Structure 1
């Protein structure tokens, strides 16, 4: 959505199918909302996630699609940001991430939109929209191309493709520089999604791209199927807009007479309509129901090119009684993992998920459902805003897993964001918080730490510092807030530090106060844990806390509310 449409747009529409009786009326209602990151101002490598509001999820709305827009020249940034993520996020969200162009520092914003729909009919309480997400990854290779298609089984069950998206690799996440997604659109037969990426101008590289699709069907319990005659079915069609050619910053729109659920964007790139790859800066719904595909020239390069938008419009039709849609194959319920609530890993500043792969594999091995939350804009925005977006992630995880609480494992700044989440939004959904190398009392005045903070985060100790620098400073209002907890706080806290940490000192700024607990069995649980108190020769440092086997032995014990006794031989 363009800035003219405001920071949050809402699109409402409904299609009505009238059957042979009043009981056969089916309403198909869709809404779209938008989230911006950072909420105000600009940030490095911004990531926004728009999620279906929990109240709407509980009413039966499901995520069907979404869009992405990033800042560019003339729209708050010095240069066009590279859109590296515009794809489904979990079961109820849509993510939009920007990355700096090759060798360019470019503070920016990102806006994610999510579209969610609900099918309903009078007297048919079990009627629902049911969706699945499929993905396929290609690379690393030059100019990678990925396609994902609806499986024959899902097609037989009545699923149709309603949207799709693309993720491309970027610095510290699979390639040296941000790879440009130049094509994100439905396949020619409408049964899949195609993603084409292109190397940055004058910077050939091996990169990856992942194509994802969302497919949905109308489902109803067999006991109520007779109330819907003729049977309703979801059907979608692809329409293409007029192609814009030979222009700097080319933009194209597409529209359709039906309900626009999602759309595609096709930009020119080297060897296919322009000298260099255009940067995709807008790929999403507009307030008037159209779909926008907008390209931008690379930094300081004139690059006339082309753009073409397409739309996927969907509606309800009927299936003749003689050829009904087959009933969907029941999906067996997973074997419940008794007493194990899901785990959400809250990453540290500028940290991508790759840093936590080892931790994720260990949680998998121990039978935990685990999820990853990357700090929006790399953690270089208001920490309260990061906590707000963590709230959406937790809501998504709870609905997806059916759990009532989560465990939060926060690394570095991620631990502070986890505590801010509890402080700002309550502790009802959190069983435990395990922090790794988190400066709970703020960053201190150690000269080496000050140098590292200045080099990495531009923290100078002046009024011009970025907001997170001020918030994490010892004695700040933010630090005071997260260290103020209610006396009956039910959350189990475990705080693991190492003596070899340049950011956090175990016995000063890394220590939590008044956080010891008693286990359900009556065992005294120590909150603050220093690795070297158990394993004096262990040399784990700040980053390594997330992957160290000895540290994980403590994480395992903390998740089970057992007394911490680190296993010095665990790898």
Structure 2
């Protein structure tokens, strides 16, 4: 006849079980805390203090996973830097498991290491090519995903169309890209809007900077990139363009569209009618981030974001 274990034995077994559980917990890998997403106050701070630092970006020891095989390259807009432009996108991508990288292109002697996009776009595309090569070499990946805001959407377009970048790009996501040009008044409006928000560019005459002039409808750059008003892009990458009806910079917003084998042109207000985010406001607009993440994950083109967390209105 089996006897039930004594109280002393039961206590010993319980203690041993507890010790085993503690040892297992100690040996288990700790989960890193998620990076907080920033908004306008952090963007202002980073613009001035850490223009070359985006939370979650530029860890060159990062290795892509099977779930996210393509490192993501972030390119900011004119007069911005990636420290300010991607305070929301950088952490979200990193928290989702992407290897994320960011680059400040078009810096010149008068940029004060903060104001980007002043150099010629063709020269900036050469910088991008070198940066992508560095990213691919360090990660071992074959292709990158690119997210570009405004001129940050035009620089990779030159690289894709004119420098063979299509073969190295899996996904292209343009936030109000200026690839097909705008008026000079639109660029001046951008500078004025940034100054209103507190991003002091120190720029009084935008006409002297080639990266600005390249973005006009009439520039040699625009005519060479998209001749005769065309909007075609080469096959290979999957293209997503997110535009806003409230854009006062790259106008008219419908000229931001692309055409090609795998292109998804999205108007923000067609998804979220009450979202008043403007050209600048896409940087912290949550529906824009949701649609960006959907594009990188090869989600459905009919994806509808949750309509909340809107970006800076009208600017």
Same fold (TM over 0.5): yes
Asked whether the 8 Å contact 1:498–1:506 carries over to 2, the reply is: no
Answer with 531-540 or 480-489: which moved more: 480-489
1:374 maps onto 2:104 in alignment: yes
Question: In the TM superposition, what is the alpha-carbon distance from 1:458 to its structure 2 partner?
Answer: 4.9
Asked whether the 8 Å contact 2:64–2:141 carries over to 1, the reply is: no
1:497 maps onto 2:240 in alignment: no
CA distance in 2: counterparts of 1:496 and 1:453, whole angstroms? 18
Asked whether the 8 Å contact 1:416–1:439 carries over to 2, the reply is: yes
Asked whether the 8 Å contact 1:558–1:564 carries over to 2, the reply is: no
Larger radius of gyration: 1
1:359 maps onto 2:89 in alignment: yes
Q: TM-score, normalised by structure 1?
A: 0.37
CA distance in 2: counterparts of 1:561 and 1:440, whole angstroms? 23
Aligned with residue 147 of structure 2, among 380, 387, 409: 409
Asked whether the 8 Å contact 2:105–2:117 carries over to 1, the reply is: yes
1:552 maps onto 2:289 in alignment: yes
* Residues 153-193 of structure 1, C-alpha deviations (whole Å, 9 max, x = no match): xxxxxxxxxxxxxxxxx983328xx9xxxxxxxxxxxxxxx
Counterpart mapping for 1:262-411 below 5 A: 336-355=65-84, 356-377=86-107, 378-411=116-149
Secondary structure at the aligned position of 2:73 is classed as: strand
Asked whether the 8 Å contact 2:177–2:250 carries over to 1, the reply is: yes
Q: Structure 1 residue runs of 4+, over 4 Å off?
A: 453-461, 484-488
* Residues 113-135 of structure 1, C-alpha deviations (whole Å, 9 max, x = no match): xxxxxxxxxxxxxxxxxxxxxxx
CA distance in 1: counterparts of 2:83 and 2:246, whole angstroms? 22
1:442 maps onto 2:165 in alignment: no
Aligned with residue 419 of structure 1, among 154, 157, 160: 157
Asked whether the 8 Å contact 1:498–1:541 carries over to 2, the reply is: yes
Aligned to 1:474: 217
Question: In the TM superposition, what is the alpha-carbon distance from 1:512 to its structure 2 partner?
Answer: 2.3
* Residues 5-26 of structure 1, C-alpha deviations (whole Å, 9 max, x = no match): xxxxxxxxxxxxxxxxxxxxxx
CA distance in 1: counterparts of 2:214 and 2:123, whole angstroms? 12
CA distance in 2: counterparts of 1:335 and 1:388, whole angstroms? 25
Counterpart mapping for 1:421-570 below 5 A: 421-426=159-164, 427-444=166-183, 449=186, 451-452=188-189, 458=204, 465-483=208-226, 489-505=235-251, 507-509=253-255, 511-515=256-260, 517=262, 527-562=264-299, 563-569=301-307
CA distance in 2: counterparts of 1:490 and 1:171, whole angstroms? 35
Where structure 2 has 5 or more consecutive residues not aligned to the other structure, the ranges are 1-44, 52-60, 108-115, 193-200, 310-315
Question: In the TM superposition, what is the alpha-carbon distance from 1:513 to its structure 2 partner?
Answer: 3.3
| CA separation of 1:491 and 1:480: change in aligned 2, threshold 3 A | farther
Q: CA RMSD in A?
A: 3.1
1:173 maps onto 2:59 in alignment: no
CA distance in 2: counterparts of 1:504 and 1:487, whole angstroms? 19
Where structure 1 has 5 or more consecutive residues not aligned to the other structure, the ranges are 1-169, 179-330, 518-525
Question: In the TM superposition, what is the alpha-carbon distance from 1:383 to its structure 2 partner?
Answer: 0.8
| Bigger relative CO (Cα 8 Å, ≥ 6 apart) | 2
Asked whether the 8 Å contact 1:512–1:528 carries over to 2, the reply is: yes
Asked whether the 8 Å contact 2:182–2:251 carries over to 1, the reply is: no
Asked whether the 8 Å contact 1:437–1:496 carries over to 2, the reply is: yes
Asked whether the 8 Å contact 1:549–1:570 carries over to 2, the reply is: yes
* Residues 492-548 of structure 1, C-alpha deviations (whole Å, 9 max, x = no match): 111101112211236433x2232362xxxxxxxx52111101111012122221221
Q: Structure 1 or 2: larger strand share?
A: 1
CA distance in 1: counterparts of 2:64 and 2:124, whole angstroms? 33
Question: In the TM superposition, what is the alpha-carbon distance from 1:551 to its structure 2 partner?
Answer: 0.4
Asked whether the 8 Å contact 2:232–2:260 carries over to 1, the reply is: no
Secondary structure at the aligned position of 1:508 is classed as: helix
CA distance in 1: counterparts of 2:304 and 2:260, whole angstroms? 19
Asked whether the 8 Å contact 2:63–2:140 carries over to 1, the reply is: no
* Residues 436-485 of structure 1, C-alpha deviations (whole Å, 9 max, x = no match): 0112321136x5x3642676655576xxx432233111032211333368
CA distance in 1: counterparts of 2:233 and 2:189, whole angstroms? 36
Q: TM-score, normalised by structure 2?
A: 0.65
* Residues 374-409 of structure 1, C-alpha deviations (whole Å, 9 max, x = no match): 123111111111110111110111011110000110
| CA separation of 1:357 and 1:538: change in aligned 2, threshold 3 A | same
Counterpart mapping for 1:23-422 below 5 A: 172-174=47-49, 336-355=65-84, 356-377=86-107, 378-422=116-160
Secondary structure at the aligned position of 1:546 is classed as: helix
Secondary structure at the aligned position of 1:552 is classed as: helix
Asked whether the 8 Å contact 2:117–2:212 carries over to 1, the reply is: no
| CA separation of 1:440 and 1:486: change in aligned 2, threshold 3 A | closer
